[in-house]
A and B are shown apart, each in its own frame.
Chain A
């Protein structure tokens, strides 16, 4: 390839990449990945908080119904974490360019432990500092922006249920502790 052809190739490739990047930004409505995950987290956290307080806490407090893990068999309410995960699985099926999961360094179900290097690093940092952690990672050949939001024990039920569970690696959680993190991934 001559030098002129090399320069043309570089220019064309750069122009194409710029157009493609612009398209992606336009598709997200000009949102940066961080702003997108902040918005998503705000909705997720609000929905779960409302479910926890207005449905689970209220009805269990009034002894109307219990919230248990095997809610179909027990004819009870799903746990807030289950409500969160069921939503996550539903979103997963729609291929919208993002996924989310509730993970912890001390999970009851070991499949919810951090797996990727970024998850391990991020969850360790989030549980120690209580601050949001962000980074980029490549999984299965695809690049992702990953944000991990601290998941705090906001009500006594979070703490008591985890402390009493036979499969929980810890039984000393306290109200306000960071028990894990909400991991949101946006494909880049």
Chain B
């Protein structure tokens, strides 16, 4: 190689090396965007410039990266498919077909085009790898679409606390509005004013929850405060530059909890569901956005949406029978109207449970 060519080769290599490698020495920031292999998922796009949140240098994405953020939630939800349930060597053949021990098997990142709203990138019929013979055990399931296990509103891969059969059986025959429904909540009182920096000192739990939800996860990852304009959900144009921290909702110069519970939300969120809320019977009855999305003061507003059966069990069922709750959750059009009105969709889960109980009782009676 001639000297000129060697110099050219070294110059090009050095330039490429600096262009590609320098972002990794600059801390978390925008220069890393050039390394993104694809569009990030809705759940993680806020962290996409913090590669190290998920990636271990030369180690790929280790399981502990997922468990570090999501492990507590999975444990609290009594994960139906926890790694400890799957790792027994007796499952070796099934794990060869679908390694469900690893989060990234079903939740691949940077592949938004094949990722569903629930963050699942695996084929919809994945349940069949282990549960393919379900129709033999449950004749009611014969003929059901293999891709409908988790999309029908009947099952969830991780959290089935609001969906398991005995739970459904306990709530058979409930009316749409429970007679034991609590009265509408009293308007929240004003709290004492507090400075922003003071918040975490006294409100550790709320601050932690905030950092786990979509309002605060970017700040928790050290990437600065989230701006409303950077959200993927529709936001009001005038709120685009608004950054999210405690004082965004709680008013740094005072703490009007009424504002925090609804007005602060609607000051940014501009989707159909949010816009419909003020005119709903729920709003007229004294409920707020926070009543459903932040029950008990939970500041991780994503917590009871993964899956939505969590909101059903912990919130909706406080006032409504399970039958209505299942139907309402499955009605996309009703969701957009912020659940103002009866559902137009029906989920047969309760009927299926009732039929099976009757069939089993009859069979056992005949055998005796």
B87 touches A111 (CB 8 A): no
In the assembled complex, B96 has its CB within 8 A of some CB on chain A: yes
Question: Count of chain A residues with Cβ under 8 Å from any Cβ of B?
Answer: 27
B17, chain A: closest CB distance, angstroms: 40
- What chain A residues lie within 8 Å of B88 (beta carbons)? 92, 99, 101, 185
Known: A89-B82, A171-B364. A140 touches B89 (CB 8 A): yes
- What chain A residues lie within 8 Å of B356 (beta carbons)? 166
Known: A89-B82, A89-B84. A185 touches B89 (CB 8 A): yes
| Interface bits B86-103 vs A (CB < 8 Å: 1, else 0) | 011111110110000000
In which size bucket is the chain B interface?
A: 20 to 34
Measured CB to CB, the nearest residue on chain B to A98 is: B89
Alpha-carbon distance A155/B79, docked complex (angstroms): 30
Alpha-carbon distance A110/B95, docked complex (angstroms): 17
B360 touches A166 (CB 8 A): yes
A77, chain B: closest CB distance, angstroms: 16
B360 touches A73 (CB 8 A): no
| Interface bits A71-107 vs B (CB < 8 Å: 1, else 0) | 0110000000000000001101100000101000000
Prevailing SS type, chain A contact patch: mixed
Known: A90-B84, A171-B364. A139 touches B166 (CB 8 A): no
- What chain A residues lie within 8 Å of B82 (beta carbons)? 89
Measured CB to CB, the nearest residue on chain B to A164 is: B364
Measured CB to CB, the nearest residue on chain B to A114 is: B90
Of the candidates A73, A167, A187, the one whose C-beta lies within 8 Å of that of B167 is A73
Prevailing SS type, chain B contact patch: helix
In the assembled complex, A142 has its CB within 8 A of some CB on chain B: yes
- What chain A residues lie within 8 Å of B161 (beta carbons)? 73
The interface centre, meaning the residue of A73, A119, A185 with most chain B CB atoms within 10 A of its CB, is: A73
B92 touches A139 (CB 8 A): yes
Alpha-carbon distance A92/B87, docked complex (angstroms): 7
B350-368: which residues lie under 8 A (CB-CB) from chain A? 356-357, 360, 364, 367
In the assembled complex, A24 has its CB within 8 A of some CB on chain B: no
Alpha-carbon distance A110/B133, docked complex (angstroms): 10
Alpha-carbon distance A172/B59, docked complex (angstroms): 54
B135-172: which residues lie under 8 A (CB-CB) from chain A? 137, 161, 164, 166-167
B137 touches A166 (CB 8 A): no
In the assembled complex, A116 has its CB within 8 A of some CB on chain B: yes
Of the candidates B85, B92, B133, B164, the one whose C-beta lies within 8 Å of that of A140 is B92
- What chain A residues lie within 8 Å of B87 (beta carbons)? 92-93, 99
Known: A110-B137, A140-B96, A171-B364. A69 touches B166 (CB 8 A): yes
- What chain B residues lie within 8 Å of A7 (beta carbons)? none
- What are 17 contact pairs spanning A and B, CB under 8 A? A73-B161, A89-B82, A93-B84, A110-B137, A115-B90, A115-B91, A139-B89, A139-B90, A139-B92, A139-B93, A140-B92, A140-B93, A140-B95, A142-B92, A171-B364, A183-B90, A187-B89
B interface residues (Cβ-Cβ under 8 A, vs A): 78, 82-85, 87-93, 95-96, 130, 133, 137, 161, 164, 166-167, 356-357, 360, 364, 367
A interface residues (Cβ-Cβ under 8 A, vs B): 69-70, 72-73, 89-90, 92-93, 99, 101, 110-111, 115-116, 119, 139-142, 144, 164, 166-167, 171, 183, 185, 187
